[in-house]
Structure 1
Amino acid sequence: MLDARLAGDTLPVGDLPLCKVLLMRDRRYAWLVLVPRRSGMVEVADLDPDEREALWREVDSASAALRTVEPCDKLNIGALGNIVRQLHVHVVARVEGDAAWPGPVWGHGAAEPYGAGEAEQKVASLRTALGLS
């Protein structure tokens, strides 16, 4: 089951073998969240070794898809879990001069909603880049 905060802050992109892929509802950043579809997971160490390997392969796939859809200067990858305990990994495409640059995106200002059709187009592009279409 997806944490209520993650569900409210994201849009579904699709499912990889281990993780649910979500798009953050913040047009300021191209920002994916990967959530392993295993209940009770809090830390990466809670996954078995094969699942840990799968997680990082999927983070790599998400990173490549994000860079295809939204060219960037730097990718930020993090699994903080200080607010939402459910294991999830953020993959954020950063561009010099973005709203939070050079600091972290977490907790920086209010999220900006996508315009009409904008999120759906980004989700479709990400699905294609991830090979989910």
Structure 2
Amino acid sequence: MTAALLHPRLEADTHAIGETSDMWLRWMDDQRFPWVIVVPKQHGVTEWYELPIESQHALLDMANRCGLYLKGLTGADKINIGALGNLVPQLHIHVIARRQDDACWPGPVWGQGEPQPYPTGQLPPWLPGLRERLSQRCA
């Protein structure tokens, strides 16, 4: 499969965490939620089942690791993992740390309230720990 470009909406709404040869890892610019986006680097893929089986497993592994690490780093009550793609057709997986006292609990985060971007230059407090854990796992 041909390598993909990151969809413009994902590019605009998220920032780089890092990448592997097969996927981009990004964080959603919304202070209300610790939120990671995992995007396979394969052109034209809109559904998980369209990926080769090895890529499906790698994507699942990455989403699971991001969820595990986010839960530990943030003390989340629940990790939401989803692949909607209704507005952005490029396959991407949302991994969101949720708390019972967050702005949208217990409902979904999509379309609820207004995003609260981080001030310019400020990074999410959980980001360094996530990067460290992901790099240790990849080493």
Using structure 1 for the length normalisation, give the TM-score.
Answer: 0.92
Which runs of no fewer than 5 residues in structure 1 stay unpaired?
none
CA distance in structure 1 between the aligned counterparts of 2:17 and 2:33, rounded to whole angstroms: 16
* Displacement of 1:72: 0.3
Q: How does 1:14-25 map to 2 (within 5 A)?
A: 14-25=18-29
Query: Are 1:58 and 2:35 an aligned pair?
Result: no
- Structure number with the bigger relative contact order (C-alpha 8 A, sep ≥ 6) is 1
Conservation of the 8 A alpha-carbon contact between 1:74 and 1:93: yes
Q: Secondary structure at the match of 2:57?
A: helix
Number of the residue aligned with 1:87: 91
CA distance in structure 2 between the aligned counterparts of 1:96 and 1:130, rounded to whole angstroms: 26
Residue by residue over 1:43-96, the C-alpha shift from the partner in whole angstroms, topping out at 9 and shown as x without a partner, is 001101111111101111111221232120000000000000000000000000
Identity of aligned residues (%): 38
The amino acid across from 2:33 in the alignment is: Y
Number of the residue aligned with 1:11: 15
Query: Are 1:33 and 2:42 an aligned pair?
Result: no
Q: Secondary structure at the match of 1:118?
A: coil
Conservation of the 8 A alpha-carbon contact between 1:3 and 1:84: yes
Which runs of no fewer than 5 residues in structure 2 stay unpaired?
none
The amino acid across from 2:79 in the alignment is: L
CA distance in structure 2 between the aligned counterparts of 1:110 and 1:120, rounded to whole angstroms: 18
Conservation of the 8 A alpha-carbon contact between 1:68 and 1:129: no
Q: Mean alpha-carbon deviation: is it higher for 52-61 or for 80-89?
A: 52-61
RMSD value, Cα: 1.8
The alignment of Structure 1 onto Structure 2 pairs a total of residues equal to 133
Conservation of the 8 A alpha-carbon contact between 1:69 and 1:125: yes
Using structure 2 for the length normalisation, give the TM-score.
Answer: 0.88
Distance change (3 Å), C-alpha of 1:120 and 1:102? closer
Match of 1:76 among 70, 73, 80: 80
CA distance in structure 2 between the aligned counterparts of 1:129 and 1:115, rounded to whole angstroms: 25
* Displacement of 1:129: 2.1
